[in-house]
Structure 1
Amino acid sequence: MEMKKHKIVCFGEVLWDIFPESQMRIGGAPFNVAYHLFKMGLDVSVISSVGNDGPGHELLQKIKNWEIPTEDIQVSEEHPTSTVIATVDKNNEAHYDIVENVAWDFIEVTPENQKSVETADALVFGTLATRNEKSKNALFQMLEISPYNVFDINLRAPYYDIRTINDLLHKTQLAKFNKAELRLVLNFLKKEYKTEQDSIRYLQEKFGIPEIIISKGSKGALYTDGDNFYLYPTIPVEVRDTVGSGDSFLAGFLSKRIGKGDSAHEIMAQAVSLGAFITSQEGACPEYTQEDFKKFKDAHPLSALNVSKW
């Protein structure tokens, strides 16, 4: 008897990133996470919206060519497909000019996407899709029916406010921050930063969040599941592109975390390995197979002995 695949729903922006030299790539953090979850063998659904225009049709066709389901991606007659002007600095870090009043700002609640969330194992979301009241209200309705809410903080100035972040954190079972986002949120909450451990404890107690991830760039990643803290090192690679590396990290994490009974070491090893693998490729959603990733992971083993636990 074939085992049922686990399913994860990703809510929010799907768009075209336009890079220098007019290179266009599908982007949006929720979609990037969904892409890598699909590559890891999970069922995925993307709740978003594109315009009934050329870029929207092309975007949907490319997603279909990847064989990723598009049933929950709405087509708007009133708002255009999102395009984002992306620039890359000398440190290979991407910066984005995100145009407003695009299709994913107006995601609607439908019986179909409600069913997708109700039957899923987890719902992944960020802050960007809450910049418009329409999509924000849709997201909060989804959070009420999801069994496991994964908040990828992913702050994009100026499209966030502390009241919304506060409300989202109260509905979160797993939160992922980078170092800068952690300090920024603590500053919003008027909490002095002392140590990462103290900061995590504060967030857990204030919001009742069981699990928190802090991505620390070259210094690795920190994960806590209750009273246990695990600090994992990075895998040294030749950096081709940092776009989407955090999204692939989260996808790797969830591919082992959701319903499989894997240990914290197995979960974090998958997360760190997939993040490093994608950083060594070009683009947030490069073409690859599970076998490609397995070869990379086998060639860059992470020993539990190298993990700091306290």
Structure 2
Amino acid sequence: MSDNTQRPLVVCFGEILWDIFPTYKKIGGAPLNVAYHLHKMNIDSHIITKLGNDDGGQKILSRLKEVDACTKYIQVDPAQKTGTVFATFDDKNEASYEFLKNSAWDFIDFKQEDYDLVAQSDAFVFGTLASRTAHTRETLHKLLDAAKYKVYDVNFRPPHYDLDAVIELMHKADLLKMNKFELKEVLTHLEQPYTTEEEAIKFAQKHFNCDEIIVSKGDKGGMYLNKEMLYSFPAVDIVIRDTVGSGDSFLAGFLAAKLRGDDPIRVIKRAASLGAFVTSHTGANPEYETEDFELFYQDTIFKDELITCKNILEEAKNPVK
């Protein structure tokens, strides 16, 4: 990781788009959401993406400059439109999405300066949606060759994913993040029975030779597995405004704490708290000051004893007979 005199550097790859909600629209896209919240956590964050040379693209660039976000690695496409997604909500405030086809981020080009940036980074974050086209998928695979710590945010948006392509990317990751339903779908594709959450996450770690896995379970909390321990943690009890971007902010909180060298318990708590903080607001990237989050963290975060831990190394040495 970076030395103590420098801020950790994280590069996010993929889509930037307009989230069109029933009554308003906001800038979004999982890679942008992660980069935005990392920036709020004082992490040096950058995004590699592509916008259209249109009004929507110009407004996104202007907005990013307003919040002092880096736009150096954002490409502009004269032929394709800036991405758009239409979001709707069910009676549980869960969102569903309809994406514009052939958006600018479907055509992200490989550039040597992007490769060099990824090679310098402490973490490289990428998702599933941006690999829906061959052009951007090829660029992603080239950039992965440069990355030291690869973070794959598995995120299924039907019909915009191919499980064989997803599994190929999962084999390259150092950290996998997915929800329980995505884990089940991957195991089904691999013809592996899903018995318990614990066995499923352990199988995934072994099968993909992956150091770390996060499995989110919504209001049931989540699980985190590293090389030594399996952690189970609750959700933060808050009033939900909407769930858009909650997983992205969780990941940003996780990486910000991990890259600063926090212990796993604090990493989990910071991640869960930032995810809850964003869920208590409207939109994936609400305007806030870091101090606002810190006050929220102190007031609402769960106690350490609510995180259960299991030493998988000791369990492997002394299996139950």
- Which of the five TM-score ranges fits, normalised by the shorter chain? over 0.9
Partner Cα distance (2:183, 2:294) in 1:
32
What is the one-letter code of the residue matched to 1:274? Answer: L
Secondary structure (helix, strand or coil) at the match of 2:145 reads: helix
Can you list the C-alpha shifts for 1:214-242, whole angstroms capped at 9, x where unaligned?
A: 10111111101113111111111010111
**Residue number in structure 1 paired with 2:316:** none
RMSD: 1.2
Secondary structure (helix, strand or coil) at the match of 2:15 reads: coil
**Residue number in structure 1 paired with 2:92:** 91
Partner Cα distance (1:306, 1:237) in 2:
16
2:116 equivalent to 1:115: yes
Q: Give 1:127 deviation, angstroms.
A: 0.8
**Residue number in structure 2 paired with 1:294:** 294
Partner Cα distance (2:56, 2:210) in 1:
39
CA contact (8 A) 1:45 1:116 kept: no
**Residue number in structure 2 paired with 1:276:** 276
CA contact (8 A) 1:29 1:244 kept: yes
Q: Give 1:302 deviation, angstroms.
A: 2.6
TM-score, length-normalised on structure 2? 0.94
Q: Give 1:301 deviation, angstroms.
A: 3.3
What is the one-letter code of the residue matched to 2:272? Answer: V
**Residue number in structure 1 paired with 2:158:** 157
Partner Cα distance (2:188, 2:135) in 1:
28
**Residue number in structure 1 paired with 2:227:** 226
Within 5 A, what are the aligned runs for 1:1-310? 3-21=5-23, 23-258=24-259, 260-310=260-310
Partner Cα distance (2:304, 2:147) in 1:
32
Q: Give 1:114 deviation, angstroms.
A: 1.1
Can you list the C-alpha shifts for 1:3-45, whole angstroms capped at 9, x where unaligned?
A: 2010101100000011113x11001111111110000000111
Secondary structure (helix, strand or coil) at the match of 1:142 reads: helix
TM-score, length-normalised on structure 1? 0.97
CA contact (8 A) 1:223 1:231 kept: yes
Secondary structure (helix, strand or coil) at the match of 1:141 reads: helix
Partner Cα distance (2:95, 2:201) in 1:
27
What is the one-letter code of the residue matched to 2:287? Answer: E
Partner Cα distance (2:302, 2:246) in 1:
18
Q: Give 1:309 deviation, angstroms.
A: 1.1
Can you list the C-alpha shifts for 1:261-306, whole angstroms capped at 9, x where unaligned?
A: 2110010010011011111111100001110000000112332211
What is the one-letter code of the residue matched to 1:151? Answer: Y
Partner Cα distance (1:219, 1:94) in 2:
18
Partner Cα distance (1:274, 1:174) in 2:
19
Partner Cα distance (2:167, 2:243) in 1:
28
Partner Cα distance (1:24, 1:182) in 2:
31
Partner Cα distance (2:155, 2:138) in 1:
19
Q: Give 1:189 deviation, angstroms.
A: 1.0
CA contact (8 A) 1:46 1:73 kept: yes
Q: Give 1:2 deviation, angstroms.
A: 7.9
Partner Cα distance (1:248, 1:269) in 2:
13
Can you list the C-alpha shifts for 1:35-78, whole angstroms capped at 9, x where unaligned?
A: 10000000111000000111110111111111110111100011
Can you list the C-alpha shifts for 1:146-204, whole angstroms capped at 9, x where unaligned?
A: 00000000111111112111110110000001111111111111110011111111111
Secondary structure (helix, strand or coil) at the match of 1:26 reads: strand
Partner Cα distance (1:31, 1:298) in 2:
26
Q: How many equivalent pairs are there?
A: 308
Percent of aligned positions that are identical? 44
Secondary structure (helix, strand or coil) at the match of 2:96 reads: strand
Distance change >3 Å, CA 207–CA 2, structure 1 → 2: closer
